[in-house]
Amino acid sequence: MDTLNPPLSILQAVRRRDHIAHNAWQVFAFLFIGLALAFTLVAAPSGDTFYFRLATEALIYSGLAMSVDLLLGFTGLLSLGQALFFGLGAYTSALVLKHVGPSFWTAMAVTLLVSTAVGIVGGFIAIRARGVYFALITFGMAQVVSKIVYNTRELGASDGIMGIPVIQANFLLFKVDTAQAPAFFLTVLAMTMGLYFCIAYLLRTPFGRTLGAVRNNECRVPFLGYNPQLYKMLAYVLAADMAAFSGALYPMLRGFVSPELMYFAVSGDAVITVVIGGLGTLIGAIYGSVILTGLKSAIGTYTGHYQIVIGVLFMLSVIAFPKGLMGYLSPLVEKWLAGRRENP
């Protein structure tokens, strides 16, 4: 067959490879959307809310997991305190909805402003350090902030903030009531996948590729003409915004926020999610989040000690699938895509 085809130029060959790898992720992204819509069709007539709320929660946590993947999988920064920004988003959104006005867009906009500001401050503190020190600083910052929140009466202290009103998110053509589980699920699905496609796009630009260079060999990056500190800062702030963006949806789903949202358990789960789903794949964070949230809920109905089961499953999955679910599945899809191209 090869002899019949004119020889590919280097550029064409490189593009084709790039394209196939990228398309494999896209296949999984669209597959996910398909699965989510199928779930909606099946579950909506039953009038169930429990599973819709659980699925919505999985999506919300997947935004947090994607932010961890942006940092760890694409920039090489292990954040053990990403829940800080998730909780920050949740609290900001809760406060806006409760005290400023029940407006979806105001809550989102204020959240992003606050998370950008806090992200810049946090970034200045954290990105000076590398490797394990970066991880410890992010861990420490989240601990400090969660303890402050825990002890601040104005923020509800250990109880958190309750009684967040049900709101109507206005999307010009239609309105979504957060109390309507299927509709809100679809809204969060759209926002999560929108976030996914934006970040996936960004990772294919020179900006995103430079992050990859930082992950791969940070010392070499300045000698290519880029300031790695600047790129790490941008990645950190972007990840802060992503985590806060997802966190802002949480009070709309559950009607309350609590300091636990900032605890290490949440940060740690986000890292586990990314590793299970496939580090550095972005889409893996979404699948991983569904798996972990589903498992937690399923195991939680039998035993309160679900952390033990999750821990064991995590170890087994890391041993069996060191590249995570997507790392295991995507080569199969790539092969299939490549084969389809050669024999149209």
The smaller minimum CB distance to other proteins, of residues 174 and 223, is found at: 223
The smaller minimum CB distance to other proteins, of residues 10 and 319, is found at: 10
State the minimum distance, in angstroms, from the CB of residue 231 to other proteins.
10
State the minimum distance, in angstroms, from the CB of residue 146 to other proteins.
34
The smaller minimum CB distance to other proteins, of residues 171 and 201, is found at: 201
The smaller minimum CB distance to other proteins, of residues 173 and 219, is found at: 219
State the minimum distance, in angstroms, from the CB of residue 38 to other proteins.
31
State the minimum distance, in angstroms, from the CB of residue 150 to other proteins.
39
3-state secondary structure the chain: CCCCCCCCCHHHHHHHHHHHHHHHHHHHHHHHHHHHHHHHHHHHHHCCCHHHHHHHHHHHHHHHHHHHHHHHHHHCCCCCCCHHHHHHHHHHHHHHHHHHCCCHHHHHHHHHHHHHHHHHHHHHHHCCCCHHHHHHHHHHHHHHHHHHHHCCHHHCHHHCECCCCCCEEECCCCEEECCCHHHHHHHHHHHHHHHHHHHHHHCCCHHHHHHHHHHHHHHHHHHHCCCHHHHHHHHHHHHHHHHHHHHHHHHHHHCCECHHHHCHHHHHHHHHHHHHHCCCCCHHHHHHHHHHHHHHHHHHCCCCCHHHHHHHHHHHHHHHCCCHHHHHHHHHHHHHHHHHHHCC
The smaller minimum CB distance to other proteins, of residues 19 and 98, is found at: 19
The smaller minimum CB distance to other proteins, of residues 11 and 319, is found at: 11
State the minimum distance, in angstroms, from the CB of residue 172 to other proteins.
27
* Cα(101)–Cα(124) distance, integer angstroms: 33
State the minimum distance, in angstroms, from the CB of residue 47 to other proteins.
44
The smaller minimum CB distance to other proteins, of residues 83 and 127, is found at: 127
The smaller minimum CB distance to other proteins, of residues 158 and 205, is found at: 205
* Cα(211)–Cα(214) distance, integer angstroms: 5
State the minimum distance, in angstroms, from the CB of residue 225 to other proteins.
4
State the minimum distance, in angstroms, from the CB of residue 202 to other proteins.
7
**Helix, strand counts (H, E) of the chain:** 12, 2
Q: Which helix (H) or strand (E) holds 118?
A: helix 104-126
Q: Which residues bind other proteins (CB under 8 A)?
A: 10-11, 13-15, 17, 201-202, 204-207, 209-210, 212-213, 216-217, 219-227
